[in-house]
Amino acid sequence: MTTSHTSPNASSATAASAHDPAFLLELYRRLVLIRQFEDRVKFLFLEGSMPGTIHQCQGQEATAVGVCAALAPDDFITSTFRGHGHAIAKGLSVQELMDELFGASTGCCRGKGGSMHVGNLAKGMVPGIAIVAGGIPLAAGMSLAFKLRGSRQVTACFFGDGAVAEGAFHEGVNMAAIWSLPVIFVCENNLYGASTRVDLVMRNPRISDRAASYGFRGETVDGNDVLAVLEATRRAAEECRAGHGPVLLELLTYRRTGHSRRDPCNYQPKDEREAWATRDPIERFAEVLREAGLADAAALARIHAAVDAEITQAIEQARRAPQPTIADLTTDVFA
């Protein structure tokens, strides 16, 4: 079983030339959109404008953007409690997400899902599943449906390193393996499940190695290199569509924020944080774009400003958006 590990930007600079410039700039915009969305939501939470807690993905933007950019609009993803980035990457609008976070009836789940359950089936995203590893059997089941119907669709199933030791991982992954289902298991290995570091819960910390024991291919990828993630996902999707699924992608990344807004994150050692800060996915991709001559500092700043305006507009609208009424209490509720 192959495992590859891309070194920072070495492959990306050359990889960049293989893509359409407009596509690359859109990738960059998506990365920035996720980062700024998360940063603004953090302050809305601190201000008290948003109820509940939130799980954010600052630092992990390239996994979501790289994977989703390799998928077709009718391909599906499953997500977790940390789903804002996956949603933006899969094409949900900032407005339907922001409305959902404000609990508005115009939100992507009509205000009943909230931060941990964002999704939109029409856009290929099953609402987030907050049970750790809960999306894995579900993704296998969806992919079985695709296979039985003879469609070319694939499922990319996002989960964290914390999901790998759950029973549901074994059950779902094994099913997908024996039936060669079109599912890409995307493990975002950010080194921590809540406050627990991976080496405390795994004797073999290379998660992609697990694939071999089920008889399919696994690959470890630099998850902070958006083009490396994109390429790896394209290869995996092709294999799945050709009937050679599933594939396990382990994307190495790092969370630059607490597990949830209530977590002060004291357990991440300072030197580790600093080392990963130098591998920030957005800064790295900006460097790739500059080196390839596709965007100068001014062009990148314009992207940031446009994204900022889009989010500001969405927040203003979400504050005024209608809340669900008592009459909506039992609609869309199954249990």
Ligand X SMILES: Cc1ncc(C[n+]2csc(CCOP(=O)(O)OP(=O)(O)O)c2C)c(N)n1
Which residues are near Mg ion by CB under 5 A? 160-161, 190, 193
Partner whose binding site includes residue 257, from Mg ion, ligand X, other proteins, none (CB under 5 to 8 Å by kind): none
Whole-number Å distance between alpha carbons of 263 and 146: 39
Q: In this chain, which of 15, 69, 88, 321 binds other proteins, going by CB under 8 A?
A: 321
Q: State the nearest-atom distance from the C-beta of 193 to ligand X, in Å.
A: 3
Residue 181 Cα distances to 98, 234, 274, angstroms: 34, 16, 40
39 near other proteins, judged by CB under 8 A: yes
Partner whose binding site includes residue 81, from ligand X, other proteins, Mg ion, none (CB under 5 to 8 Å by kind): ligand X
Nearer to ligand X, 135 or 246 (CB): 135
How many chain residues are in contact with other proteins, going by CB under 8 A? 29
201 near ligand X, judged by CB under 6 A: no
Whole-number Å distance between alpha carbons of 258 and 283: 21
Q: What is the DSSP string of 166-199?
A: SHHHHHHHHHHHHTT-SEEEEEEE-SEETTEEHH
Nearer to other proteins, 88 or 164 (CB): 88
Q: State the nearest-atom distance from the C-beta of 215 to ligand X, in Å.
A: 24
Structure tokens at 187: 């493990």
Give the three-state DSSP class for 137: helix
CB 228 within 8 A of CB 161: no
Nearer to ligand X, 185 or 192 (CB): 192
48 near other proteins, judged by CB under 8 A: yes
61 near ligand X, judged by CB under 6 A: no
Q: Which stretch binds other proteins (CB under 8 A): 73-81, 168-176, 219-227, 318-326?
A: 318-326
Q: What is the DSSP string of 2-22?
A: ----PPTTHHHHHHHTTS-HH
By CB under 6 A, what part of segment 156-185 binds ligand X?
A: 160-163
Length of the chain measured in residues: 335
193 near ligand X, judged by CB under 6 A: yes
First to last CA, the chain: 43
Q: Could you say which DSSP state residue 125 is in?
A: B
192 near ligand X, judged by CB under 6 A: yes
Q: State the nearest-atom distance from the C-beta of 10 to ligand X, in Å.
A: 27
Lay out the site mask for ligand X across 253-292 (x = CB under 6 A, - = otherwise).
Answer: ------x---------------------------------
Q: Which stretch binds ligand X (CB under 6 A): 40-48, 192-200, 263-271, 304-312?
A: 192-200
Whole-number Å distance between alpha carbons of 139 and 157: 6
Partner whose binding site includes residue 261, from Mg ion, ligand X, other proteins, none (CB under 5 to 8 Å by kind): other proteins
Structure tokens at 303: 């992207």
Q: Could you say which DSSP state residue 160 is in?
A: E
Q: What is the DSSP string of 84-113?
A: HHHHHHHT--HHHHHHHHTT-TTSTTTTSS
Whole-number Å distance between alpha carbons of 21 and 298: 16
Q: Which stretch binds ligand X (CB under 6 A): 2-10, 63-71, 127-135, 220-228?
A: 127-135
Partner whose binding site includes residue 202, from ligand X, Mg ion, other proteins, none (CB under 5 to 8 Å by kind): none
- Number of Cβ within 10 Å of residue 252's Cβ equals 24
Q: Where does this chain bind ligand X (CB under 6 A)?
A: 81-82, 130-132, 160-163, 190, 192-194, 259
